[in-house]
Chain A
Amino acid sequence: MSFWKKLEAVDARIIYLILWIAIGLPLLTPLYLPLSISPDTVNYHKAIEALPAGAVVAFGMDVSPAGYGGELGPQARATAYHLFTKPIKIVFLSFWETGAPLIQDVWKNRYVADAMKDKKYGEDYVNLHWIPGTETGMAAFAEDVWKTVPADYKGTKLADLPMMAKIKSVNDFAMLVCIETGTPGGPEYLRQWQARNRNLKMLVGSLGVSVPANIAYMASGQYISILRGGRGATEYQYILKIVTPTDVQGSDAMTMSHVVVLVFLLLGNLGYLATKGQKGGKK
């Protein structure tokens, strides 16, 4: 059997093992591989920087634990940190029941916790927790915040939260930051929130897998910008100067995994071409 035929018949578990090793190396020690900053991440940062004092921002934590553990956690933490450094009001909420408890996990991050020190709950930020009904819930919230969410995550009535006095509908929000795993996510917010408030600026933190779908909305100007998966998160952390060696290890591991995939793609195609037309090979 020729080399190429042996390669084509390689056990998938060998490839998994190579991946484990290739990803494991940078996780043991950071390699500090180069990372360029994309214009989308720069625009994401600029949009938050440009928020006027007192602006109300909705922070949609529409994530699953798996998405949060991978790409969206670093995005959410970096975004929350950035928002807390600005003199604005933040309304945390989630249309994913699995995303709501993770809001408090974001607050536990040392950078976020540090930025929150000078902020007062109820005056500068609130957590409205989970809002059921997916897209229907979004529509109801957009129409009447108080009727849809009578209390915050601790059960405190909205009337007892001073900053909520002026937040009655989606028209009172200047910006929506949506960290999204899937549906409901950015497109649903577009349909139910931005369709009602055409001045609502939208930023989306997206899983890599959703980037091609989200780019269309960015090109049309409906989204100001998007964070592209884990890479986008690391780029943003670099801009904010809150990148840690662990984050670098993550982006290094990602680069290594892509190198492995590219090498196998190349070898697979070379094998295909080498055995094409041969007896027992590809036709």
Chain B
Amino acid sequence: MAVDLATMLGIYVYALFALGAYSFTYKDNSFFKFAEHTYVALSIAYNASVAYGYIRFTAVQPVITGKDATFLIPLVIGALFIFFFSKKYFWLYRFPIAIITGTGMGLAMSGTISAQFLDQVVATVRLPLYVVDKVLGFRPMDTLNNWLIFIMVIGTLAYFFFSITPESSLGAVTGKLGLIGRWTMMVAFGSAFGNTVMTRMNLFIGVYKNLLRDYTSFLGLAALILVVATLEGQRAKKSAQ
């Protein structure tokens, strides 16, 4: 299949940066550093250009055309960010930061209490400990799941209950429950680790799939990067001696 020059160039650039990034697993080298620094620079430039376009279209144009002059207020407040670089007027930089932090925290707090705290508590309290479906009848696995949630929530809460000394009789009970909590958290951490492995592997598989689309770029660049990394490693070894 004939591939045009632009597509070919794209494949090679992709392969160079993907292999450059993954070459770190073999050894730190200049290809990795080049890929890393280019990525950081590109993402900052992309974010800045997209933000500039949005501000120009949403706020600057309405002010210039006289359609909505109120946008001048956020524009002026936003412009105060520049005083981060001034020792004398650094205090002006604190205004936009204070507004952003205050608004963000206020918004997050108001939603958190209802959506992430109260709703979760209500859902846990409402869990039926004997599940019967109208059509399917008794659901043993769902019942077991709900019992596990019930026991594990209490256990985990008991683990973080620090107001009772372990020596007291009540402390012995919370200690036992806390042990369940500890095991619960260990299971949760294990599950989180397993899911993390899945995500990282999927990232790798995605890159690997793209690399295998064109064997020549993949193999050629892989060999080149390995040679450079090995030579760099030898040079570093010699200079250390």
Q: Chain A interface (Cβ within 8 Å of chain B)? A: 12-13, 16, 19-20, 23-24, 27-28, 66-67, 69-71, 73, 97-98, 100, 130, 132, 134-136, 139, 150-151, 155, 187-188, 190-192, 194-195, 207-212, 216, 219-222, 228-231, 246, 249-250, 253-254, 257-258, 261
B26 within 8 A of A: yes
Partner of B209 from the list A67, A135, A136, A250 (CB cut-off 8 Å) is A250
Closest chain B residue to A151, Cβ basis: B57
B188 contact from A212, A219, A261, Cβ within 8 A: A212
Does chain A have a CB within 8 A of B165?
Answer: no
Contact partners of A132 in chain B: CB under 8 A: 51, 54
Query: Inside 8 A of B57's CB, which chain A residues have their CB?
Result: 150-151, 155
- Structural contact, A258 and B198, CB atoms closer than 8 A: yes
Q: B114 touching A195 by the CB < 8 A rule?
A: yes
Bound CA–CA A155/B53 (angstroms): 11
Tell me whether B209 and A230 are in contact (CB under 8 A).
no
Interface hits, B21-53 → A, CB 8 Å: 25-26, 43, 46-47, 50-51
Query: How long is the Cα–Cα vector from A150 to B111 in the complex, in angstroms?
Result: 26
A69 in contact with B208 given A219-B123, A222-B115, A222-B119 (CB within 8 Å):
no
Q: Is A195 in contact with B123, judged by CB distance below 8 angstroms?
A: no
Given known pairs A97-B50, A97-B51, the reply for A27 and B208 (CB within 8 Å) is yes
Asked if B197 and A229 make an inter-chain contact with CB atoms under 8 angstroms apart, the answer reads no
- Beyond A97-B50, A208-B199: 15 further Cβ-contacts under 8 Å? A12-B25, A13-B25, A27-B205, A27-B208, A27-B212, A97-B46, A139-B107, A187-B116, A208-B196, A208-B202, A209-B200, A219-B149, A250-B206, A253-B205, A254-B201
29 contacts between A and B (CB under 8 A): A16-B25, A24-B212, A27-B209, A28-B212, A66-B203, A67-B203, A69-B203, A69-B206, A69-B207, A71-B206, A97-B47, A97-B50, A130-B54, A135-B104, A135-B107, A139-B107, A150-B58, A191-B108, A207-B199, A208-B196, A220-B122, A222-B115, A222-B119, A228-B195, A231-B198, A246-B209, A253-B201, A253-B209, A257-B205
Please report the C-alpha to C-alpha distance between residue A134 and residue B108 in the assembled complex, in whole angstroms: 11
A100 (CB) vs chain B CBs: closest residue:
B50
Which residues of chain A are within 8 angstroms of B198 by Cβ–Cβ distance?
208-209, 229-231, 254, 258
Please encode chain B, from 42 to 78, with 1 for each CB lying within 8 Å of some chain A CB and 0 for all others. Answer: 0100110011001001100000000000000000000
B234 close to A (CB within 8 Å): no
Residue of B nearest to A12 (CB): B25
Q: How far is the CA of A191 from the CA of B119 in the complex (A)?
A: 11
Q: Mark B211-222, 1 if CB is under 8 A from A, else 0.
A: 010000000000
CA distance A41 to B237 in the complex (A): 53
- CB <8 Å contact, B202 and A70: yes
Q: Assess whether A257 is in contact with B149, with CB atoms less than 8 Å apart.
A: no
Q: Are B201 and A23 in contact (CB under 8 A)?
A: yes
- B115 touches which one: A12, A28, A195, A209 (CB < 8 A)? A195
Q: Is the CB of B111 within 8 A of A136?
A: no
Q: Mark B103-127, 1 if CB is under 8 A from A, else 0.
A: 1100110111011100110111000
Q: B13 at the A/B interface (Cβ < 8 Å)?
A: no
> B181 to chain A: closest CB distance in Å?
16
Complex formed: what's the CA distance from A73 to B112 in Å? 29
Q: B70 to nearest A CB, angstroms? A: 11
- Of A20, A67, A216, which is within 8 A of B120 by CB? A216
Tell me the nearest residue of chain B to A190, going by C-beta: B115
A212 touches B205 (CB 8 A): no
Residues of A within 8 A of B26 (CB): 13, 16
A20 to B222, CA, bound (A): 12
Which residues on B sit within 8 Å (CB–CB) of A67?
A: 203
